[in-house]
Amino acid sequence: MAGTPIFDQLVYLVGEVTIVLILGFIILSILVVGISFYSIRRGYFYLPRLVKSGIVATEGMAKGICKLLGLDDKEMTAFAIRLHNALNQSDFEKVPADRRAIFIPQCLRNAECPAHLTPEGIVCRRCGRCEIGSHVDSLEAMGYKVWIAPGSTLIKRMVKQYKPQGVIGVGCMIEVREGLELLDKANIIGMGVVTLKDGCVETLLNWQDLMDTAVLGIEPAEKETV
């Protein structure tokens, strides 16, 4: 078979298709990076659905292009999260508060937090050493189910058990990005809120960012509890 005209033509065809696919992938990556940065600079989402799919499909290559151009790929990740939130916002607004869940990372606690780990995550004792307690009260009063999560295993378990329709995930940029992708795959409407400071203990959150997301689509009477 090797060396026959048909075999040669087949190898040639496979080579051509491979080159076209690689070129297409590179062009798509450049387009995604270009449109994303233009959107970031202009503060407007251009071709949002196409860009979102492109970011997911070309992530590694897009990061490589960012590095090659000396661009900050963190900015690109932050943009992807903002874009994701913008695309999900109207669907999230339609989810009743009692079908929504919030996962707060345990690293936001005070280092001397007296709360204990339970099968449903860390249960806040409202000791006042950090801002979690008061905010959990407000969010639960709105109808939210809130967990302080020690890790992604608990999140996956609670999502499976309680089947929320909408989820707000709080965390560092990478955690939020990965979490939103998982929620997408599970057909759950996800919104991401990124912490101000990464780390393992006493990280920082602009709580207003979380509350602004939490009140989306909530009736005024329910908001008054915030």
CA distance 32 to 75: 14
Nearest distance, CB of residue 161 and ligand SF4, angstroms: 22
Task: Enumerate the H helices of the chain as residue ranges.
Answer: 5-42, 48-57, 59-68, 73-93, 132-142, 152-162, 173-185, 207-214, 220-223
Count how many Cα atoms sit within 13 Å of the Cα of residue 123 in the half-sphere of its side chain.
4
Stretch that binds ligand SF4, among 17-25, 82-90, 105-113, 210-218 (CB under 6 A): 105-113
Quick note: the x/- pattern for ligand SF4 over 123-152, rule CB under 6 A, is: -xxxxxxx-xx-------------------
| Among 109, 135, 145, 177, interactor with ligand SF4 by CB under 6 A | 109
| Among 15, 24, 114, 151, interactor with ligand SF4 by CB under 6 A | 114
Nearest CB to ligand SF4, comparing residues 77 and 203 = 203
The radius of gyration of the chain's CA atoms, rounded to the nearest angstrom, is 22
Nearest CB to ligand SF4, comparing residues 92 and 144 = 144
Stretch that binds ligand SF4, among 19-27, 67-75, 113-121, 190-198 (CB under 6 A): 113-121
Nearest CB to ligand SF4, comparing residues 86 and 123 = 123
Per CB under 6 A, does 110 bind ligand SF4?
yes
Exposed/middle/buried for 71, CB within 10 Å: 0-12, 13-18, 19+? middle
Nearest CB to ligand SF4, comparing residues 35 and 113 = 113
Exposed/middle/buried for 156, CB within 10 Å: 0-12, 13-18, 19+? middle
Nearest CB to ligand SF4, comparing residues 91 and 120 = 120
| Total residues binding ligand SF4 (CB under 6 A) | 14
Only one residue has tokens 């979380």, namely 210
Exposed/middle/buried for 148, CB within 10 Å: 0-12, 13-18, 19+? buried
Binding stretches for ligand SF4 (CB under 6 A): 109-110, 113-115, 124-130, 132-133
